[in-house]
Amino acid sequence: MVVSHDSGTARPVAGVFWMLVTGLLFVIMTAVVKNLGDRLPPAETSFLRYALGLGFLIPMLGPIRAARLDRRTLGIFALRGVAHSAGVILWFYAMTQIPLAEVTAINYLNPVFVTIGAALFFGEALAARRLGAIVAALIGALIILRPGARAIEPGHVAMLATAVFFAVSYLIAGRLAGRVSPAAVVGMLSITVTIGLAPFALMNWVTPTPAELGWLFLVAGVATAGHYTMTLAFAAAPLTVTQPVTFLQLVWSVALGALFFDEGLDPWVIGGGTVIISAVTFITWREAVLKRRVTPSPHQTKG
pLDDT digits (tens, 9 = 90+) for 75-125: 989 999 999 999 999 999 998 888 888 888 888 888 888 888 888 887 777
If you average pLDDT over every residue of the chain, what do you get?
A: 81
> Considering only CA atoms, which of 282, 281, 278, 267 is closest in space to residue 144?
267
Domain ranges of the chain: 12-294
- Which SS3 state, helix, strand or coil, does residue 177 take? coil
> Considering only CA atoms, which of 224, 221, 244, 195 is closest in space to residue 78?
195
pLDDT at 299: 39
- Burial-class residue 128 by CB neighbours within 10 Å (0-12, 13-18, 19+): exposed
CB 253 within 8 A of CB 30: yes
Section 269-279 average pLDDT: 83
| pLDDT tens string 131-166 | 888 888 888 888 888 876 777 889 999 999 999 999
State if pTM tops 0.75.
Answer: yes
> Is the per-residue pLDDT at 7 higher than 50?
no
pLDDT category at 239 given cuts 50, 70, 90 is low
DSSP H helix total and E strand total for the chain? 13, 0
CA distance 66 to 85: 25
pLDDT category at 238 given cuts 50, 70, 90 is low
- Eight-state DSSP code of residue 300: T
Higher pLDDT, 136 or 205: 205
> Is the per-residue pLDDT at 172 higher than 50?
yes
CA distance 194 to 181: 20
pLDDT category at 292 given cuts 50, 70, 90 is low
pLDDT at 68: 80
pLDDT at 10: 62
